[in-house]
Structure 1
């Protein structure tokens, strides 16, 4: 089996040797076996929420570490079923999605009301269900980007879900409505004892310029994270940052957008990916709400190295884990299991430390 350093290849020293972060790890609330007791027990979350959070942290290969490995498969709605499952048609069947999460040693499986509801009596007690309550669909013509609710919190509760998840497209014209919908849904989920996970994504054509795509800038995604924890998301899902300077770029040429301080780019982050990700974590109340980064799309060859790289960056930044879907389910099941295990091995590797 390849070691983490071998999988990182030429980037091994750059990522594993980084030791000068702008924000000290001493300021962070890091994942650990006592995370629920240390962070959530003093909060306003009720005992049922604490129990479900503890169940998430005590399931799968990462049980007892404070880290999370989650399998998300909502792409049948988000990206169309045919496009998502053409490479591996067995995943049109919801049961195979849950089987992949179980065999892959995941802490939870995240999917739609339909997928998880169809097999809930067989599996809800075997692996924590994370029900995704809203989606963007691609059948409306022309395509539009809007997250709409597809069910109720009571439905998720009745199927035995441990947590609910939602997406907000921060920066989009629809974001105000989504913020209200999700805040109300999360309040009900907490009242019924379920944990909450927010996909804090950005969506606005102005964020993408000919030079850079600021949908993945550390400063804009960091602010999205801060809005997410304001909604009382227990866990934040965010894309790994690839650049910085979104606020600065959108304010050039006399434009007035948001507010920023240039020290974001000089004192709070460098251009190193671990520093950029740590800035995302700083905006998650310094890690009180755990940051899980997304695994990204599958590109075939190189997926394993890319997934391990993302895991190393997340862990060394002080993050809580990875939520990887397409890289695992768009390949034969045993290859998907092996990829999930490789991601988890990063979090089990005591040699990969927080920078």
Structure 2
């Protein structure tokens, strides 16, 4: 596998990692239409656990088939495909080695009581990741939840085990629960805090939602306003998230969020590009549409990251 100077520079930021972990990270960074650029578009499909099958796939019934999702990731030229264990097992042999895989290690579900604090259950192991040929593990962390400390300890142990066998870790860091308001889940100060904590826990790639200019914490608001931290535009807010991720020494990608119009998706990608982010994880906005449309959409996003659109 040829490794570009751009990717070599990124790998150099992971100073404690063994060659196996760096090789798997390079495999993801060198894959697909953005291979070698330092940018990524990852296809995540864990919504079956999170929202249920009909809410996830009824809009595009072929997506009920895990093979369709593997093929979508390939046809679109994505850097990787992320999914829970069962979905990856369903295509692991047919698509062995075809594209990098990220095994999502924990999941929640929409049947969880609404009045209880958010948490997730472990649904796979590092051994499972090795067995199916995954190139990384993934984990969702809920900063703000009453279960946060338990989840953090769980994450650290999974990352320790994964690194010991040469697998990098992707952390979905989603603030929610506790005293965080709905607006606070994507507030600038809270989002940057969540990204930073994921880095501190040992994540190689951090995934967060795009932040708004809302400031949730009074103490943080005083600092943002007193230090004149620029957060007025989306690209400025992305740049601040990158700054919170060890000033760009850790890869950070942003969630595509709920279903939205194409221009909104493209505007988000331009803001991520201009703010120095490393890319997008686009799930529902891709697999819930016809494959040809999804491939076209993802291709345009990739062109934006290559400064072609």
TM-score normalized by structure 2? 0.93
How many residues end up aligned between the 2 structures? Answer: 304
1:227 to 190, 197, 202: 197
1:288 to 240, 244, 249: 249
Alignment of 1:210-221 (within 5 A): 213-221=183-191
Deviations 1:154-210 (A, max 9, x none): 10111100011110010000111100111110111111111111001011263226x
1:124 to 76, 96, 100: 96
Structure 2 unaligned segments of length 5 or more: list them: none
- 3-state SS of paired residue (1:82): helix
- 3-state SS of paired residue (2:73): helix
Per mean C-alpha deviation after superposition, the further-off stretch among 103-112 and 39-48 is 39-48
Aligned partner of 1:135 in structure 2 is 107
Aligned partner of 1:347 in structure 2 is 305
Alignment of 1:182-221 (within 5 A): 182-204=155-177, 206-208=179-181, 213-221=183-191
- 3-state SS of paired residue (1:203): coil
- Relative distance call for 1:85 and 1:59 in structure 2 (3 A) is same
Higher relative contact order (CA 8 A, sep 6+): 1
Displacement of 1:316? 0.6
The CA distance in 1 between the partners of 2:169 and 2:209, in whole Å, is 18
The CA distance in 1 between the partners of 2:17 and 2:74, in whole Å, is 28
- Relative distance call for 1:171 and 1:35 in structure 2 (3 A) is farther
TM-score normalized by structure 1? 0.82
1:82 to 51, 54, 67: 54
Runs of 4 or more, structure 1, over 6 Å off, are: none
Deviations 1:299-350 (A, max 9, x none): 4xx2x11111111111111100010010111111111111111111101126
The CA distance in 2 between the partners of 1:40 and 1:286, in whole Å, is 15
Structure 1 unaligned segments of length 5 or more: list them: 1-31, 249-258
The CA distance in 1 between the partners of 2:280 and 2:192, in whole Å, is 17
Aligned partner of 2:81 in structure 1 is 109
Q: Is the 8 A contact 2:141 2:151 kept in 1?
A: yes
1:161 to 134, 138, 141: 134
The CA distance in 2 between the partners of 1:39 and 1:343, in whole Å, is 21
1:236 matched to 2:197? The reply is no
